[in-house]
Amino acid sequence: MAELKNAAAIVGAALSDEMGKVPHKSSMQHHAEAAHNALKDAGLTKDDVDAVFTAGPGTLQLAEYLGIHPRFTDSTSVGGSSFVIHIGHAVSAIANGLIDVALVTHGQAGQSSRGRAGGDPTAMGTQYESPYGFIGAPQNYALAGNRYMHEFGQERTRDAWAEIAMSTRKWAQLNPRAYQRGDMTREDYDASRWITYPFHLFDCCVVTDAGGAFVITSLDRARDLPKKPVKVLGFGEGHDHGIISQMPSVTSLIARETHKQAFDMAGITHDDLDLRMIYDSFTYTVLLTLEDLGFCGKGEGPDFIKSKTLGPGGDFAMNTSGGGLSYTHSGMYGMFLVVEAVTQLRGEAGDRQLDVCNTALVHGTGGSLSSGGTTLLGID
Amino acid sequence: MSQQQSTPPPKPTPIPQQDNEFYWEKAKAHELWLRKCSDCNEVYFYPRDISPCCFSRNTEWIKASGKGTLYTWGITVRPPTPAFREDAPFVLAIVDLEEGCRIPTNLVGIPKDPDPEKMAAHITHGMAVEVAFEDRTDAISVPVFKPVDS
């Protein structure tokens, strides 16, 4: 097998022009704007792109809209983690000489298209879960979070969720593009309305319209491009169910497996990380992911979080964009994890820039806690 | 507007397929039936002709006892779609059936309260539950679960 570590690098990353509440733009416009901005950032043109990756609407629709005739196409769509997973796929193809420049895009009018979606009436979720009101992520994730509270203690879990929500908001306050930037106290968290018990509103991500894109090429070619290459050090992916009632244990994520391959490939450990971008559809998603990625043991997450300072100036930099909880969440949020990691690694994060950021972990979770993708990124 | 408020749209109902029409037929008769792999005797949910454990076509239907315990639950306060407007707050549940598989459902028979914490006081993980049926349409009844003592 070709050597995958350091075979390729992210050479461009960008967002769509407008994010938040953008009712006048379609999902595909967000894709196109982000792609345009990312290629410009990379110092490349559309004609350099020979491989396209996206999730949600497939690459057929995307590449047509962008005017690209790719020779490599990948519509892997396993929820919001997909774009994190695309990185490994692109690196594998680059390392084997199949492609030269990969474009990964995301765009979703998540807020403005709410309620428009129709599902396959014969899909398993539609047949067995929807009749009971298992519709949408808050329902599914709340069921899982409640079991965690039962197994590991209600109060300490609540404290951890509140801390995650509050510290993520503090980061958002440093990000001019964040959707929610108001102060959040513990009282505000506790008083925020119930969505699905045990989730308060502030346990749940925002819902926005947004797009993002990034460009990957070989490390050799990357060295000739304007921006400092963000090297892909390692990656892993997997899933262990589709619908929530089929999850083997609702307190254990596939992250328990995906991080091992990523760290092995990269030859680094948790202690080498300067930044962790952890998918935060809900506060519970973060708590569970930290445990399953091996930052602490199962059930130890609340104590681990208590022992760290997650917000700006702290000793455990995480979700520095303000996350899905406060910054942006279009529905398939994983793209924004990658864009923020690249921004931090290049030292372009403005007020929220970390003093030292050479190595970052990105972990996406998709579906109903179903899929996971871990990617490790680094800069010289 | 008031007219629109008066009757919520119907809840989603399954469209029986070849692999589960027996399941829904039995549910209509207020019976819960499950699929069992005859190679390894694992009982699984949801019904499939080919078992997910052994990937075997050697499978059979068995009638479930209808008894189980509450694996986990949540209380939907904000209705996910207008169809559930008049039900909220209601209890989402995943039940571990006596036969060894897990089923998504609703927990019914819990006193309704606008404050979900008051409802939660009546519900515990692991509590004993048993099947009941809700008639949704002329063709479809869905299995729901209620506390054994209620």
pLDDT per position as a tens digit, A309-365: 999 999 999 999 999 999 999 999 999 999 999 999 999 999 999 999 999 999 999
Closest Cβ–Cβ partner in B17, B87, B119 for A122: B17
Contacts of A138 in chain B (CB under 8 A): 78, 80
A150/B72 touch (CB, cutoff 8 Å), yes or no: yes
Would you state the structure tokens that stand for residue A123, as one six-digit string? 């899909």
The DSSP output letter for A14 is E
Domain boundaries, chain A: 8-112+206-378
The CATH number given to whatever domain includes residue B89 is 2.40.50.840
Q: Tell me yes or no: is domain A8-112+206-378 CATH 3.40.50.2300.
A: no
Say whether residue B69 is in contact with chain A using an 8 A CB cutoff: no
Contacts of A193 in chain B (CB under 8 A): 77-78
Closest CA to A8 of A212, A213, A225: A225
Q: How far apart are CA A14 and CA B105, in angstroms?
A: 42
Q: Is the pLDDT of residue A212 over 50?
A: yes
Say whether residue A131 is in contact with chain B using an 8 A CB cutoff: yes
Substitution target in A132, A149, A202 with the highest count of B β-carbons within 10 Å is A132
Closest Cβ–Cβ partner in A124, A131, A197 for B75: A197
**Whether complex ipTM tops 0.90:** yes
Q: How far apart are CA A137 and CA A131, in angstroms?
A: 15
Give residue A85's pLDDT. 98
Chain A nearest C-alpha distance from B69 (Å): 13
CB A372 within 8 A of CB A258: yes
Does residue B3 lie within any of the structural domains? no
Say whether residue A92 is in contact with chain B using an 8 A CB cutoff: no
Closest CA to A14 of A211, A275, A230, A221: A211
Closest CA to B92 of B73, B66, B108: B73
A132/B92 touch (CB, cutoff 8 Å), yes or no: yes
Q: How far apart are CA A328 and CA A16, in angstroms?
A: 12
The secondary structure element, H or E, covering residue A186 is helix A186-191
Q: Tell me the pLDDT band of A30, cut-offs 50, 70 and 90.
A: very high
Say whether residue A277 is in contact with chain B using an 8 A CB cutoff: no
Residues of A (233-262) whose Cβ lies below 8 Å from B:
243-246, 250
Does residue B129 lie within any of the structural domains? yes
Does residue B2 lie within any of the structural domains? no
Domain count, chain B: 1
Ramachandran region, residue A367 (left: φ > 0; alpha: ψ -120 to 50; beta: rest): left
Q: Is the pLDDT of residue A2 over 90?
A: no
Say whether residue A223 is in contact with chain B using an 8 A CB cutoff: no
Closest CA to A54 of A113, A115, A108, A109: A108
Tens place of pLDDT per residue across chain B (150 aa): 444 567 899 999 998 999 999 999 999 999 999 999 999 999 999 999 999 999 999 999 999 999 999 999 999 999 999 999 999 999 999 999 999 999 999 999 999 999 999 999 999 999 999 999 999 999 999 999 999 975
What type of residue is A166? M
CB A20 within 8 A of CB A172: no
Would you state the structure tokens that stand for residue A189, as one six-digit string? 């968290």
Mean pLDDT within A108-134: 82
A195/B14 touch (CB, cutoff 8 Å), yes or no: no
Question: Which tens digits make up the pLDDT trace of A129-165?
Answer: 999 999 999 999 999 999 999 999 999 999 999 999 9
Q: What percent of chain A has pLDDT over 70?
A: 98
Q: Tell me the pLDDT band of A120, cut-offs 50, 70 and 90.
A: confident
Substitution target in B76, B119, B137 with the highest count of A β-carbons within 10 Å is B76
B77/A197 touch (CB, cutoff 8 Å), yes or no: yes
Does residue B1 lie within any of the structural domains? no
Closest CA to B75 of B112, B129, B21: B112
Helix (H, G, I), strand (E, B) or coil at A235: strand
CB B25 within 8 A of CB B17: no
Contacts of B17 in chain A (CB under 8 A): 122, 127
Closest Cβ–Cβ partner in B14, B72, B90 for A250: B72
Q: Is the pLDDT of residue A8 over 70?
A: yes
Does residue B5 lie within any of the structural domains? no
Give residue A119's pLDDT. 66
Q: Is the pLDDT of residue A237 over 80?
A: yes
Closest Cβ–Cβ partner in B80, B103, B116 for A136: B80
Ramachandran region, residue A67 (left: φ > 0; alpha: ψ -120 to 50; beta: rest): left
A139/B76 touch (CB, cutoff 8 Å), yes or no: yes
Give residue A347's pLDDT. 98
CB A226 within 8 A of CB A351: no
Q: How far apart are CA B12 and CA B6, in angstroms?
A: 18
Beta bridge mates, A277: A362
Does residue B132 lie within any of the structural domains? yes
Q: Is the pLDDT of residue A116 over 70?
A: no
Helix (H, G, I), strand (E, B) or coil at A282: strand
DSSP one-letter string for B117-134: HHHHTT--TT-EEEEEEE
Sign of CA dihedral A16, A21, A22, A23: positive
Sign of CA dihedral A194, A200, A204, A206: positive
Contacts of A115 in chain B (CB under 8 A): 81
Q: How far apart are CA B131 and CA B145, in angstroms?
A: 4
CB A262 within 8 A of CB A143: no
Question: Which tens digits make up the pLDDT trace of A254-295?
Answer: 999 999 999 999 999 999 999 999 999 999 999 999 999 999
Give residue A345's pLDDT. 98
Q: Is the pLDDT of residue A188 over 70?
A: yes
Buried b (16+ CB within 10 A) or exposed e, A306-322: eebebbeeeebbbbbbb
Instruction: Provide the residue range defining the domain that includes B120.
Output: 13-147
A245/B92 touch (CB, cutoff 8 Å), yes or no: no
